Structure 1
Amino acid sequence: MISKLDLYKVFCEVAKCESFSKGAKALYMTQPAVSQAIMQLEEELEIRLFTRTPRGVTLTNEGKLLFEYANSAINLINVGEKKLLESKNLMLGDLKIGVGDTISRYFLLPYLEKFHNEYPNIKLKIVNKTTLELCPMLKSGEIDIAICNFPIEDTSLEIKKCIDVQDIFVCGDSYKNTLSMPLSFEEIANLPLILLDSKSNSRRYVEKYILSKGVEITSEIELGSHDLLLEFAKINLGIACVIKEFSQEYLKKGILHEVQMVEEIPKRSIGYCFSKSVSLSPASKKFVEILEGR
């Protein structure tokens, strides 16, 4: 049995064509099928919609009223289907990515550039938060993907590793000579340490590992960004804990010096995650492919 929506589509086409035969041709239907559809709609509404004339059909006053609304509704549905197809083909849409400032600058930018070049009509929204702040936003649907410092222990999130990074301690010129020998965690704990904010997943990882060795570290100075860690260490305000891969410019130029350790902090990962309960949008899937080098 023909659906109510299809009945209205037939009604609108016949009204625009002012002819059952022309409407049937436009809809790729037989004329009897179109006539039957109009009859069914008129019976359901208990009202006559068309006046038959030698040249075709014209809308009754009631038909004109219905056509005004039905045609608008059909047009809106067609526009919605078109927009959906455009979104599927990445001709429009948006992508909301959550990421911290450090990862955004030192890891994410090339991938954003490539995605934007390939899909310029997709609007990018970047939300800068810590890893701990981004996880709830993923689960609430406020963002599509988060680029985070691992480890993350949340079974509701799909977690994918991208790169490994090494946490190290660095110092400026004033500390270089006095810290020439490899240091133990106990010795590091006695130095003026410059660390990220306590909410940072990176700092928590370092603190947890060193504490597992029986040593508790505390900060002399707490900062909100990796770049500030580098700059504060540069002017000899203390020993900063930084990510080696994101500090190469300072290390290669000799602006900062890596503090040699008796035992290295194990490497950890940076990657992306998304909610297991929500399917990735077409834009999100394409961005993930770019992140994975596909």
Structure 2
Amino acid sequence: MAVNFDLNDLQAFRAVVELGSFRKAAEAVNISQPALSRRIDKLEAALGVRLFERTTRSVTLTTVGRVFAPSAEQLLDDLDVALLGIRDVSSSRLGHVTIACVPSVAYYFLPNVVASYHRRFPRIRVKLLDSSANEVLSSVISGEADFGVSFLGSQESEVEFKVLLQERFVAACRRDHPLARKKRVTWNELYEHEYVSVDKTSGNRLLLDQALSAVAPRTPSVCETRHVTTMLGLIEAGLGVAAVPSMAMPVRDHPVLTSVPLVDPVVKRRVGIVRRRGRPLTPAAEQFYRAIIEMKRGSDEVKSDANTQTKSKRSTA
């Protein structure tokens, strides 16, 4: 028996699933609400099941609808992948992209990328899963996220890891703290003061434990957190000092917080894009992936120009 529905019906179904409203879905796919209802009715009739429970106040998926939704999404994504080499379908369809990232990346790196992406593709929704490095890796491997941005994954056989940047750990402290007057701080000097640390579930903790096997703090930390952003809030409140990735620090002219390079040893981490090996990206995710690469390339060019200008001024001074 032929299945009597088409691509437009599936797109209407996905729009209702994503937006939870027939009115909003109709606006998203640029048709009237009665026309969208007819598409859903046609799809339900072709499948012989009800996909939605509809009341005057809400629209929810039926049990069958919840089972069908991932299949419909996969069908549309597979079609977009097939068409990617023919035309740019990302800018003209309703879709979504899910990116998993560590909080420091979500705070420092991704906002500009998301803003630029939204201007180019206003109909595609972006979902950010700001989680620990281990959770980012799990989200990518499970398929919950299209890809991730993190500092863990380079050793995993299931994923590809493309390096974006390398950053060092710095001592975060208040501007009125004694360490703020130093040009550099050793790890032993850092641990002479009350300090805040990340707990054992943090990817940063694993990285630091491996790099600092020869450095033993004399006392335990006064507080442990899971995220660096929480740690910085505690430092700002005067709880002590902390070792944090440089990218996690707020802007240089922050009225309270500052940072000092940590040495003996210098500890660095590589931040990169994590993708599941052998799993193609949807067109929406592919465009976001490219946007991150372009943003990073543009940032490198700005830094290169600034360094060239600085060297030129020194040579003429």
After TM superposition, the score normalised by the length of structure 2 is: 0.59
Match of 1:290 in 2: 291
CA contact (8 A) 1:151 1:268 kept: no
CA distance change for structure 1 residues 151 and 254 in 2, over 3 Å: closer, same or farther?
farther
1:263 aligned partner: 264
Q: Given the superposition, is the C-alpha separation of residues 293 and 259 from structure 1 closer, same or farther in structure 2, using an over 3 Å criterion?
A: closer
Q: Distance in 2 between matches of 1:219 and 1:285?
A: 42
What is the deviation of 1:178? Answer: 9.3
Deviates more, 1:221-230 or 1:181-190: 181-190
Q: Which residue of 1 aligns with 2:273?
A: 272
Q: Is 1:224 the counterpart of 2:219 in the alignment?
A: no
Comparing 235-244 with 184-193, which one deviates more in the overlay?
184-193
Change (3 A) 1:182 1:125: closer
Q: Which residue of 1 aligns with 2:253?
A: 252
- Structure 1 segments unaligned to the other structure (5+ residues): 9-67, 74-78
| 8 Å Cα contact 2:147-2:274 kept in structure 1 | yes
Partner of 2:104: 102
SS of structure 2 residue aligned to 1:293: helix
Q: Write the distance in 2 (CA, Å) between the matches of 1:128 and 1:178.
A: 30
Q: For structure 1, which segment, 168-177 or 151-160, has the greater mean C-alpha deviation from structure 2 after superposition?
A: 168-177
Secondary structure, counterpart of 2:235 in structure 1: helix
The one-letter code sitting in structure 1 at the alignment partner of 2:223 is: I
AA partner of residue 124 (structure 1): V
CA 219–281 in structure 1, closer or farther in 2 if over 3 Å, else same? same
- The runs of 5 or more residues in structure 2 that have no matched partner are 5-41, 48-71, 84-88, 296-317
Aligned residue for 2:145, secondary structure, equals coil
Q: 1:118, CA displacement in angstroms?
A: 1.1
- How far is 1:102 from its partner? 2.3
Residue deviations 1:6-65, cap 9 Å, x none?
xx9xxxxxxxxxxxxxxxxxxxxxxxxxxxxxxxxxxxxxxxxxxxxxxxxxxxxxxxxx
Per the TM alignment, residue 100 of structure 1 is displaced from its structure 2 partner at its CA by 2.5
AA in 2 matched with 1:200: S
102-111 vs 88-97, greater mean Cα deviation: 88-97
**Aligned-pair CA distance for 1:183:** 4.4
Question: Over residues 156-197 of structure 1, what are the superposed CA-to-partner deviations in whole Å (9 max), with x where a residue is unaligned?
Answer: 101111122221112224531697485433333343221223
SS in 2 for 1:104: helix
What do the CA deviations read for 1:229-281 (whole angstroms, capped 9, x no partner)? 223223331111122233252x4346234345452523322221110031111
Count, aligned residues: 223
Q: Which one-letter code corresponds to 2:113 in the other structure?
A: Y
Deviates more, 1:82-91 or 1:232-241: 82-91
Q: Distance in 1 between matches of 2:197 and 2:179?
A: 22
Whole-angstrom distance in 2 between the partners of 1:146 and 1:157:
10
| TM-score normalised by L of structure 1 | 0.63
Separation of aligned partners in 2, 1:181 and 1:165: 18
Question: How far apart in 2 are the matches of 1:178 and 1:279?
Answer: 47
Task: Decide which of 157, 167, 191 is 1:165's aligned counterpart.
Answer: 167
Task: State the partner residue of 1:45.
Answer: none
Counterpart contact for 1:209–1:265, Cα < 8 Å: no
Higher alpha-carbon Rg: 1
**1:153 positional shift:** 2.0
- What is the deviation of 1:95? 0.9
SS of equivalent residue, structure 2 residue 177 = helix
**Cα distance, 1:177–1:223 mapped onto 2, change above 3 Å:** closer
Per the alignment, residue 210 of structure 1 pairs with 212
Which range moved further: 168-177 or 278-287? 168-177
